[in-house]
């Protein structure tokens, strides 16, 4: 008994140490997403996070998210603590603008009315003060909604960019610092860019760009790199898998701007996390670029979302890109400036896709099989939300398990408060090689943190065929889990390189059909493409149980494109196929 107790305590200690020594992260970000009350009058309750801005301020990171009652603070991009400010607008902040200049962090909310710019010298303590009392009101429907504030150190000038509409453009204006960052001249704002879906396939609205509804642009952001100004924007709609970020480029902060032919710069239409639009670009302490975005969930409402961040950068030709390849698999936290865009990928593969799952109980048709389908819009629901309910996943054979992600769903939630004494998640995880003896590998029952997308990195790889989730507490009246995602690696050979690649441009050249021959034992494929054979920055992930043909509807008219395919499984990734130009 003493030996068993010692073993149990040692394993629990290892699980706690795993979190303290965490070296990886996994999208969607593991933060305590707040219950969002946009749909309060409809009595719809759900956690959500949208329109993220991450700011590197004095070597530490601050995350601002729509309607969250505050912000998050981190020293390492993985452990995020929520900060409640001493001042806050009564209506909360939608799509906030944030900017760090020297010792000051500036903050401004989306508005069509007169609202103030705030500042903080101690954002880690939640201290917020008025920088001005309001910006002058712009003409009706102009904004500034979805704003971004930009300071050009070289010019010593300040600017604001904004826009959220399928009627109005992205605007820009110079701000006057001597007049507390109000507009330099009344009505002196410029129209900077409109969407052109007739030329830019990725700007078409709807799932896989298949709707004829006029698309929306929003989420302006400005990045200056090597003397060029990259004005970024989100399109075509936040509630679909194809939500992405694009950019126009100029030699001056207010243009004229030229459309980048390689758009979109951040795009993730396939996989568990889908959608990468409306975020921002920032640099970490090592000089690495990151691009944030808003993947969709859409269980309770079309605009139910989460937050993701992807490695990003500029290549030798100044092409801006965001690396979403395996963008919802574990990635290493940076410890230095990376050299290759894939350097941060941990190499831990998804072990749980479509694997057999069983549960202590299930409600109606919401069965255990839903937790391995890699779809956040389907979910398992237990008959009761009580301690001891469990899920068990059979991986089919023994693997080395490195990390596990537990994703909760707000099914029939009645939570209209973010009281930390009530809103938290608690559970335990176990591993087994024989489905009889269960070894504890994580214990989150000793902490009161809300982790609706809890990511658990194990202290060391654990050999397991079965993984079990044991429930303790969630605030919602129903225990609902969309996916338990298990990562690690098998001992077998990586899949063979796909062959039979073809890429055919449609008569509508915004579209191309990509085909390949299926590879034995593959779990999925990454279709990769770009504007040159060595610029395959775009990725569309598809599963091996889907057809080996995919229509890509995200191309720009008049631009040459090149395609290749790679296969992946639990054992690793194939070499990239032959690169084919789409004709």
Question: Considering Cα of 82, then 88, then 94, then 96, what sign does the dihedral take?
Answer: negative
**343-356, pLDDT tens digit by residue?**
999 999 999 999 99
DSSP E strands: which ranges in 65-188?
Answer: 71-74, 81-83, 97-101, 104-108, 118-122, 127-130, 148-152, 157-162, 170-176, 182-183
pLDDT at 187: 67
pLDDT at 531: 98
| 250, 231 Cβ separation under 8 angstroms | yes
| 238, 50 Cβ separation under 8 angstroms | yes
Compute the average pLDDT of residues 324-328.
98
DSSP letter for each residue of 304-316: -B--EEEEEEE-T
Share of the chain above pLDDT 70, in %: 96
Compute the average pLDDT of residues 246-263.
98
Query: How far apart, in whole angstroms, are the C-alpha atoms of residue 187 and residue 495?
Result: 59
Compute the average pLDDT of residues 22-40.
92
Question: Which residues are 225's β-sheet partners?
Answer: 228
Strands 356-359 and 331-332, bridge-based pairing: unpaired
Per-residue pLDDT band for 9 (boundaries 50, 70, 90) equals: very low
CB atoms within 10 A of CB 87: 12
Per-residue pLDDT band for 42 (boundaries 50, 70, 90) equals: confident
pLDDT at 6: 39
Residue 164 reports pLDDT greater than 60? yes
pLDDT at 90: 80
Query: How far apart, in whole angstroms, are the C-alpha atoms of residue 357 and residue 466?
Result: 9
- The CATH class, in words, for 502-581 is mainly beta
Per-residue pLDDT band for 16 (boundaries 50, 70, 90) equals: very low
Per-residue pLDDT band for 186 (boundaries 50, 70, 90) equals: low
pLDDT at 137: 86
Compute the average pLDDT of residues 27-35.
97
Per-residue pLDDT band for 7 (boundaries 50, 70, 90) equals: very low
Q: Any residues with CB less than 8 A from the CB of 13 and at least 6 apart, and which?
A: none
**195-211, pLDDT tens digit by residue?**
999 999 999 999 999 99
Residues 482, 280, 347, 443: what is their CA dihedral angle, to the nearest 10 degrees?
-50
**363-399, pLDDT tens digit by residue?**
999 999 999 999 999 999 999 999 999 999 999 999 9
What is the residue-averaged pLDDT of the chain? 94
pLDDT at 177: 86
**150-161, pLDDT tens digit by residue?**
999 999 999 999
- In the chain, residues under CATH classification 2.60.40.10 are 502-581
Domain spanning 2-16+349-489, CATH architecture: Sandwich (2.60)
pLDDT at 8: 44
The larger pLDDT score, comparing residue 285 to residue 21, is at 285
Kindly tell me the burial class for residue 390, based on how many C-beta atoms sit within 10 Å of its own C-beta (0-12, 13-18, 19 or more): middle
Compute the average pLDDT of residues 514-523.
98
> Rounded to two decimals, what is the model's pTM?
0.95
- In the chain, residues under CATH classification 2.115.10.20 are 39-328
Residues 36, 38, 40, 45: what is their CA dihedral angle, to the nearest 10 degrees?
-30
Q: Superfamily for 39-328?
A: Glycosyl hydrolase domain; family 43 (2.115.10.20)
Residue 18 reports pLDDT greater than 80? no
| 307, 317 Cβ separation under 8 angstroms | no
DSSP E strands: which ranges in 117-252?
Answer: 118-122, 127-130, 148-152, 157-162, 170-176, 182-183, 189-193, 218-225, 228-235, 244-250
- In the chain, residues under CATH classification 2.60.120.260 are 2-16+349-489
| 3-state DSSP of 435-451 | CCCCEEEEECCCCCECC
């Amino acid at each position: 008994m003493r030996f068993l107790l010692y073993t149990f305590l040692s394993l629990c200690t290892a699980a706690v140490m795993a979190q303290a020594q965490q070296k990886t992260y996994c999208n969607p970000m593991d933060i305590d997403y707040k219950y969002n009350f946009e749909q309060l009058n409809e009595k719809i309750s759900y956690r959500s996070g949208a329109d993220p801005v991450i700011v590197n301020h004095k070597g530490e990171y601050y995350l601002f998210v729509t309607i969250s009652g505050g912000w998050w603070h981190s020293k390492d991009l993985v452990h995020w603590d929520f900060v409640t400010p001493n001042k806050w607008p009564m209506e909360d902040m939608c799509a906030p603008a944030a900017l760090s200049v020297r010792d000051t962090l500036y903050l401004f909310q989306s508005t069509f009315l007169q609202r103030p710019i705030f500042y903080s010298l101690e954002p880690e303590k939640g201290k917020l003060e008025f920088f001005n009392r309001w910006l002058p009101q712009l003409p009706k429907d102009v904004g500034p909604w979805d704003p971004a504030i930009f300071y050009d150190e070289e010019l010593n000038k300040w600017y604001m960019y904004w826009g959220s509409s399928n009627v109005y453009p992205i605007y820009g204006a110079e701000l006057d610092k001597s007049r507390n960052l109000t507009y330099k001249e009344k009505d002196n704002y410029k129209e900077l860019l409109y969407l052109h879906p007739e030329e830019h396939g990725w700007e078409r609205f709807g799932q896989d760009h298949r709707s004829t509804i006029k698309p929306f642009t929003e989420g302006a952001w400005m990045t200056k790199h090597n003397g060029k100004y990259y004005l970024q924007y989100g399109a075509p709609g936040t509630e679909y898998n194809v939500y992405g970020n694009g950019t126009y480029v100029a030699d001056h902060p207010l243009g004229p701007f030229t459309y980048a032919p390689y758009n979109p710069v951040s795009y993730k239409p396939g996989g568990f996390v889908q959608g990468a639009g409306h975020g921002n670009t920032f640099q970490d302490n090592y000089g690495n670029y990151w691009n944030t975005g808003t993947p969709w969930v859409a269980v309770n409402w079309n605009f139910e979302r989460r937050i993701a961040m992807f490695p990003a950068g500029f290549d030798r030709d100044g092409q801006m890109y965001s690396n979403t390849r395996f963008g919802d698999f574990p990635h290493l936290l940076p410890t230095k400036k990376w050299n290759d865009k894939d350097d941060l990928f941990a190499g831990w593969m998804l072990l749980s896709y479509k694997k057999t799952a069983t549960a202590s109980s299930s409600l109606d048709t919401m069965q255990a099989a839903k937790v391995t389908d890699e779809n956040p819009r389907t979910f398992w629901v237990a008959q009761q939300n009580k301690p001891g309910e469990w899920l068990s996943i059979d991986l089919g054979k023994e693997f080395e398990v490195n990390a596990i992600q537990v994703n909760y769903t707000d099914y029939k939630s009645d939570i209209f408060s973010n009281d930390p004494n009530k809103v938290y998640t608690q559970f335990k995880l176990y591993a087994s090689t024989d489905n009889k003896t269960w070894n504890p590998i994580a214990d989150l029952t000793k902490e009161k943190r809300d982790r609706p997308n809890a990511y658990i990195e194990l202290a060391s790889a654990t050999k397991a065929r079965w993984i079990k989730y044991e429930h303790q507490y969630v605030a919602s009246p129903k225990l609902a889990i969309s996916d338990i995602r298990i990562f690690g690696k098998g001992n077998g050979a990586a899949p063979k390189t796909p062959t039979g690649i073809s890429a055919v441009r449609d008569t509508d050249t915004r579209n191309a059909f990509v085909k390949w021959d299926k590879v034995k034992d593959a779990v999925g494929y990454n279709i990769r493409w770009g504007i040159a054979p060595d610029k395959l920055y775009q990725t569309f992930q598809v599963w091996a149980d889907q057809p080996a043909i995919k229509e890509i509807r995200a191309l720009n008219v008049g631009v040459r494109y090149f395609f290749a395919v790679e296969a992946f499984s639990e054992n690793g990734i194939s070499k990239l196929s032959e690169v084919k130009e789409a004709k």
